[in-house]
Structure 1
Amino acid sequence: MNVRRSAAVLAATVVIGTAAPAAAASPSPSPSSPSGLYGSTDPTYDGVWRQSLALIALHQVDVEPAAAAVGWLAGQQCANGAFPAFRADPAKACDAKVMVDTNSTAAAVQALSASGGHETETGKAVTWLKSAQNKDGGWGYTPGGASDANSTSVVIGALRASGADPAKSLKGGKSPYDALLRLSLPCADAGAFAYQPDKKGKLTANADATAAAVVGALGQDMVSVKAGAEKHATCTDAARPTPGQAAANGAAYLAKAVAKDGHLTSALPGSENQPDYGNTADAVVALAAQGGTAAAAGPVRWLERNSAKWAAQSGPAAYAQLILAARTGGADPRDFGGTDLVKRLTATGPAPVPTSTPTPTIKSQDDSGTSVWWTVGAGLAAGAGIGFLLSSRNKRKQP
């Protein structure tokens, strides 16, 4: 997912004729990260994305983020409702130099929907997203760009999270699901999804796009995605495939891709093939959403054994991806291969809202034998000489 975002940003900058800085692929440490932001690396290319994923992941594990973290994200929105990848001075109005995009906007909608109380912001963002919809029913990374599977899927998630029905979001009589079906491949080509057609209109299987499109075709969002019923994914061609069948076909492709080694492989130009941790985490979510936790068991175990170092180097978005994978894939995000992913994520940003301790209630008898209920707060208990031993849970897990 992070690799895809860097690639999308680079592609977008090429379209508008601006050379992409080297930092796009490998963000450098930021000496003074904005207050409320998760992570300490330069947020220029992924600030809104990683903040959104962090808030979504914390929502998934019932952790309430600091108001500053939610406020930071809401403050990135432009007046027209769209979000850029990052803007350093939110007090300054967005102008033509601020490049907004559908991925940042759709992710922010999902995060703010999960946080609650931001209906105005999410409503404006959804209105902007609908204005950027292409005639084939899908979305490109930037407004007017050719529709791609990843952008279309994350916008489907935004529509769902905000309470809208993606099937009713039509442009030229086409829905987002029509756009995804147009990017799906037949079983002869493994049943995968392509990112988008090449210049000759040819579709090529893409594991990253497939992981996103499976979730999108199922009509799920990152906020509430969950494992489906246990079933084996098989690829089946149909004259008029449904989104559900296309999702099953895509899951069959992913299952085959991770069957041997337990992970997806990244084949970046000029480098040797290597494990793709982020996309493997996304594949876990897709496999579990389509076919239940058993379908994702292999890559979940692989991530538990191998992802700790990658997450520590990559930061909050990586921890968020792993939390979503653990939650959907049936693992424990607080003991994921010995790592407490939740603790690691919260350590990269402002401290979350403390969990309130239930007020103890004591039942006693008065002199007449009548029951009397006493609610004793911690301060009153101390003053009355009643001691309560407050112990934290056994912290046997790796921090």
Structure 2
Amino acid sequence: MHTASRLGAAALTGLLLAGTAAAPALADTPTASPTPVAVPAGVYGKGDPTYDGVWRQSLALTALAGAKVVPADSAVGWLTGQQCADGGWPSFRADAGTPCDPKTEDSNATAAAVQALVQLGGQRAGVTKGVDWLKANQNADGSWPYNPGSPGDANSTGLAINALTAAGADPTQVSKNGRSAYDGLAAFQLGCTAPAAQRGAFAFQPAADGTLAANTLASAQAALGAAGGKLPVTNTNRVDAAPKPLSCGTDKLVPHAEAGEAAAAYLYAQLNANGQHLMQTTPGATPTPDFASTSWAVLGLIQSGHPHQAASAADWLAGNGYAWAAKGKNGTDAAAAAALLLVAEAAKLDPYNFGGTNILQLLVEAGPAPKSVPSAAASALAENPDGTKAPGSGITEADDNSGFSPIWLVGIGLLIGIGGGLLLSLNRRRGNASAAKATKATKPTGDSGDSGDSGDEQK
């Protein structure tokens, strides 16, 4: 079973429909296991790790390492200890001494763990075994499934490509039956036969008749892989123009050279249509803002060379993401906090004041005390010890991408209102002063028109 809160290919709708293929969706809190498991020492987050232990640990370590935090040995040791003898990782195993069941090993957890070990450094043996596991469990069509032996999906395939890229393995050379990793991902991307507004999007999996339906979570998570990216996103390429929609020719599949840009164009349009965030939709539920998908969309846009177009969504996350990351059933959601830290790093926003929250410290406090943190992090905490408890109503200073958040818009509106009030007041004073001059000759000495002025302003 998958974890609802994870940013991987967890399909909440699929869980509700007893495992039928469905578009993935996310919830704010992890799915509870039948027998809740205590959180082992060294693990980030306080919630039951049964379905997302490796995933959230990997994201946390990746984000913290990107911020120059040296984690505790117990945090790294727990992750490396979860690796199976064949190189893969399960979602979680309570007893690392018990052999893994290959059928339950998790491509999403493995892909995330490989990226974490690459970022941490000094873990080449574990990285190599993890990459070998991914290669061994690639489907015949070039894709990856969540668990070995299942049909592939866009999310899992995109994550596998991220891991291969991070480890220095060329995804074009990782193939089965002549189908490369990028070929496998292309099978889930909507091309020129789809309506124009959906071109470039990804489906989670094809329907029974082979048709593809655009899905925002699949699109957001697969976009990073389509653009040749990995975690953490550090791409410095910049294209000032908006992403280009797919240029339609005779190809049945979206060419790899256009895949990342086409996905970015779809995501950018969706962000603009929904107030700079993506929406989560599940059967029978009211659509709600999807913080996880929005985070991945920002990373995908930046990797595609469009940080300017990602700026407003990054600002939206800064202004609204605090409750998602810090107010879960079990306190800080380590995976969510890590996602926001990864966004801050990629968008070059201040992780010590991300929407008023010290998001780096929030994640640090969710796990074992690190060996060391940057001096800037220590200074930020000393200056604002309550920074991790901020309501998320602020916003980091605007960078050169000129992004705006709803908070800035409210502030601008207040300034306009204040300016308009001052202008009206000045005009009123000028009018009253003119009237006073016209009647001054008829008034007794010592009488002032200011008294009438004051009375008028107080109405």
Could you tell me the TM-score, scaled by structure 2's length? 0.73
287-296 or 225-234, larger mean C-alpha shift = 225-234
Alpha carbons 2:38, 2:48 under 8 Å: kept: no
Where does the alignment leave 5 or more consecutive residues of structure 1 unmatched? 16-21, 358-390
Among 306, 312, 333, the residue aligned to 2:320: 306
Partners of 1:59 and 1:304 in 2: CA distance: 20
- Structure 2 counterpart of 1:60, from 63, 66, 72: 66
The count of residues paired between Structure 1 and Structure 2 equals 359
Q: Work out whether residues 153 and 215 of structure 1, in 8 Å CA contact, stay in contact via their aligned partners in 2.
A: yes
Alignment match of 1:321 (pick from 325, 339, 356): 339
| Between 148-157 and 286-295, the greater mean CA deviation after superposition | 286-295
CA displacement at 1:37 relative to structure 2? 0.4
SS at structure 1 position matched to 2:383: coil
SS of the residue 1:14 aligns to: coil
- TM superposition shift of 1:316: 0.6
Give the structure 1 partner of residue 41 of structure 2.
Answer: 35
Residue 145 of structure 1 aligns to a residue in which SS?
coil
* Structure 1 match to 2:295: 281
Contact 1:227 1:290 in 2 (8 A): no
The CA RMSD measured in Å over matched residues stands at: 2.6
Q: Partner of 1:395 in structure 2? A: 383
The change in CA–CA distance for 1:160 and 1:50 in structure 2 (over 3 A counts) is: same
Structure 2 residue 365 is matched with structure 1 residue 347:
yes
The letter for the 1-side match of 2:185 is L
Within-5 A mapping of 1:69-218: 69-95=75-101, 99-187=104-192, 188-189=195-196, 190-191=198-199, 192-218=201-227
Identity of aligned residues (%): 41
Measure how far apart 1:225 and its partner are. Answer: 4.1
Once residues 364 and 268 of structure 2 are traced to their aligned partners in structure 1, the CA distance between those partners, rounded to angstroms, is: 32
Distance verdict in 2 for CA 1:42–1:184, change over 3 Å: same
In the TM superposition, what whole-angstrom CA distance separates every residue of 1:326-356 from its partner, at most 9, and x where no partner exists? Answer: 2212322221101011000010100111248
Return 338-347 or 326-335, whichever deviates more. Answer: 326-335
Where 1:193 maps in the other structure, the secondary structure is coil
CA contact 1:287–1:296 (8 Å) conserved in 2:
yes
- Corresponding position of 2:261: 248
CA spacing shift, 1:133–1:24, aligned 2, 3 Å: farther
Match of 2:272, as an amino acid? A
- Aligned ranges for residues 10-49 of structure 1 at < 5 Å? 10=15, 14=19, 25-27=30-32, 32-49=38-55
Question: Which residue of structure 2 lines up, in the alignment, with residue 337 of structure 1?
Answer: 355
SS in 2 for 1:275: strand
1:232 match = 242
Structure 1 position 31, deviation (Å): 7.3
- Deviation, 1:288, is 1.6
Q: Is the 8 A contact 1:227 1:293 kept in 2?
A: no
After superposition, what is the alpha-carbon deviation per residue over 1:270-304, rounded to whole angstroms, capped at 9, x for unaligned?
Answer: 21011111111111111121133211012112111
Alpha-carbon distance in structure 2 between the residues aligned to 1:161 and 1:286: 15
The answer as to whether partners of 1:227 and 1:328 remain within 8 angstroms in 2 is no
Matched residue type, 1:119: R
How far apart in 1 are the matches of 2:80 and 2:39?
17
Distance 1:323 1:356, change over 3 A: closer
SS in 2 for 1:291: coil
Bigger mean CA deviation after superposition, 316-325 or 328-337: 328-337
Query: Which residue of structure 2 lines up, in the alignment, with residue 293 of structure 1?
Result: 307
Q: Give the aligned partner of residue 220 of structure 1.
A: 229
